[in-house]
Every structure is written in structure tokens, then in C-alpha cells.
Amino acid sequence: MGTYKQVIKLDPDPLAPYAISPGWQVGDVIFFSGQAAINEQGEVVGAGDFDAQLQQVFHNIDRLLHAAGSSRDQIVKVTIYLTDMGNFPKIVQARKVYFQYPYPADTVVEVRALALPDLMVEIDVIAVA
């Protein structure tokens, strides 16, 4: 008998044009593709506005968690990609807004660019189903 695995589907799915699954549940663990400031129609939200982009990212994460039957308090690990590490203090503040103690494990890295030129932040998530 194999391990349970199932794709997490969204409708509409803004990642479909890029041939990316929004996420997978494998056993009791959920893995999400990186979530950026892209709305349900596939449009970038908040070009030039880090705070607006971060808010959209967490909206997308919540949408995926809901589709997977989970919630933000089940997130155990995030990896955060920033195009400007100058926004790191905003990430520290966001942890206090979007998460509660005990906080998820976290990695933050600066990257030269993300998939679309106007994107400033992307977060991928591992959570418990």
C-alpha cells in the first residue's frame, strides 16, 4: 500500500498558465508552491508596494490552506524569498501579525528576481493536514 498523495486544486487556479500545481498533500503533510502577490485572475497585486504584496501572499496561503482542509496554525515551515533584504524588518513584524507562538520554522533568503518582474516576495509553506 502506497503513501496517500493528492494535488490541492484551486478554481480559478492562477498558477495553471505556468504548469505548476498549487500544492500537494502527501500523507499528513501539505507542501505548497511558492505563493506570490498574484490574484485569482493571475494579475500581480501591489507592484512597488511590499506591504500590499505581503498581504496578497498571505491571502493566497489562506486560500490554499482552506482548499487543503487546514489552517494557518498548522504551518510548520516557511521559506521566504525577498528581492530586497531591506524588507526583512517587515517580515519580522509580519510573523507577529500572521502567526502565533509557537512560530513556524523559517528561512529567509534574498534573490535577484522572482518569476515576474514586479514581484517582491514569495513564500512557500509546509503544513500539517
Q: Is the pLDDT of residue 1 over 70?
A: no
What are the φ/ψ torsions at residue 29 (nearest 5 degrees)? Answer: -115, 140
pLDDT at 23 over 70: yes
Mean pLDDT, the chain, integer: 96
Residues constituting the chain: 129
Cα–Cα distance between 46 and 56 in angstroms, integer? 8
**Which CATH number describes the domain made up of 5-128?**
3.30.1330.40
pTM of the entire predicted model: 0.94
